Amino acid sequence: MHLPILDAPLPVFIGLTLIGMGFAAIMIGQALAVAWKPAWHAVAYVMLLGFGDRFLTFALFDGRLLSLTGYLADTAALIAIALTSYRINRARRMVGQYPWLYRRAGLFGWQTISNDSSTKK
């Protein structure tokens, strides 16, 4: 099944983009969160990863190399994966690095630990 917006068959999108390049996007998000880099770095790196994804789609599966919609669709999916990984790892890092200040608040966040002794009168 060839989807026009992807300019590649659906199994290629799932296998190459979501699973193969998705793993690389997860690693990008994790590496940037552990190194305390800002989230926009993930977007920049994944845009480069999107070019590699389009090339592999072209070289291995006879997809269109210069497809703007295919590049944007693939890169948008990879950016979502990388930013999700970034946020999960940043929350884990904040709580692990500063356990006296923050505690986990769900999968993606953290919250400040309130100091009860300072609020008591």
Residue 101 belongs to a domain? no
Domain annotation covers residue 111: no
- Cα 111 to Cα 79, 100, 117, distances in angstroms: 25, 11, 18
* Domain presence at residue 100: no
> Is there a domain that residue 107 lies in?
no
Give this prediction's pTM: 0.88
Distance from C-alpha of 98 to C-alpha of 96, rounded to nearest angstrom:
6
Comparing CA positions, the residue from 78, 86, 80 lying closest to residue 53 is: 78
Q: What percent of the chain has pLDDT over 90?
A: 77
Q: What is the mean pLDDT of residues 111-121?
A: 64
Domain that holds residue 39: 2-92
106 domain residue, yes or no? no
Cα–Cα–Cα angle for 20, 57, 15, nearest 5°? 35
Which pLDDT score is estimated for 120? 40
Q: Would you give the DSSP letter of residue 2?
A: E
Structure tokens at 28: 């990008």
More confident residue, 7 or 98: 98
SS3 state of residue 8: strand
Q: What is the pLDDT of residue 119?
A: 40
DSSP percent split of the chain into helix, strand, coil, nearest 5 = 65, 10, 25
84, part of any domain? yes
Is residue 99 domain-resident? no
61 lies in a domain?
yes
Count the domains in the chain: 1
8, 75, 34, 23: CA torsion to nearest 10: 0
CA dist., res. 94 & res. 103, Å (int): 8
